[in-house]
């Protein structure tokens, strides 16, 4: 299913659930994944602002047109991270052998945060906001 953001919105966004899920998703992934990936705790200060400033509006637009499905949002976060992080990494890389850290770790954590966001948003969303606009 494709999402057409030019068409009129199909769903209203629950603002409390949206912002709670947006802020809590990276924190919960960081806490849960820290025993497995120690780097997950450090991913929050490095990628959290990008997730809020770039991912927030994109998630908002997506949720006005489609249900919050974890797989769809994870793929969206992965693609947006690639479209934003890789060019920025290339621009700011001075040596050809430098590794674009933000792009690599963002490709891992952006989808994880998006899955957590989808699950949290569906959990927090009030019933009236889960019905399509007629």
CA distance 23 to 36: 22
Q: How far apart are CA 4 and CA 74, in angstroms?
A: 18
pLDDT for position 3: 61
What's residue 25's pLDDT? 94
Burial of 91 from C-beta contacts in 10 A (0-12 / 13-18 / 19+): exposed
Measured in degrees and rounded to the nearest 5, phi and psi for residue 30 equal: -60, -40
**What gap in Å lies between CA 59 and CA 27, rounded to an integer?**
17
Tokens of 37: 């990936």
Residues 6+ apart with CB under 8 A from 84: 50, 54
Alpha helix segments (H runs only) across the chain: 15-33, 39-50, 56-63, 70-92, 101-124
Given this model, what pLDDT does residue 20 score? 95
Domain boundaries, the chain: 15-129
pLDDT of residue 121: 95
pLDDT at position 97: 45
Tens digit of each residue's pLDDT, the chain (134 residues): 566 656 777 888 988 999 999 999 999 998 888 777 777 777 777 788 888 888 999 999 999 988 899 999 999 999 998 888 877 777 766 655 445 677 788 888 899 999 999 999 999 988 877 777 76
């Amino acid at each position: 299913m494709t999402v057409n953001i030019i068409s009129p919105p199909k769903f209203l966004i629950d603002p409390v659930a949206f912002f709670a899920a947006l802020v809590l998703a990276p924190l919960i992934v960081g806490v849960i994944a820290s025993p497995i990936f120690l780097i997950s705790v450090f991913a929050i200060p490095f990628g959290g602002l990008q997730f809020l400033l770039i991912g927030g509006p994109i998630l908002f637009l997506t949720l006005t047109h489609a249900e919050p499905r974890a797989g769809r949002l994870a793929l969206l976060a992965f693609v947006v991270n690639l479209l934003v992080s890789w060019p920025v990494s290339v621009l700011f890389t001075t040596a050809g052998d430098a590794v674009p850290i933000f792009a690599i770790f963002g490709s891992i954590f952006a989808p994880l945060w998006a899955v957590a966001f989808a699950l949290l948003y569906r959990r927090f969303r009030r019933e009236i906001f889960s019905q399509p606009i007629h």
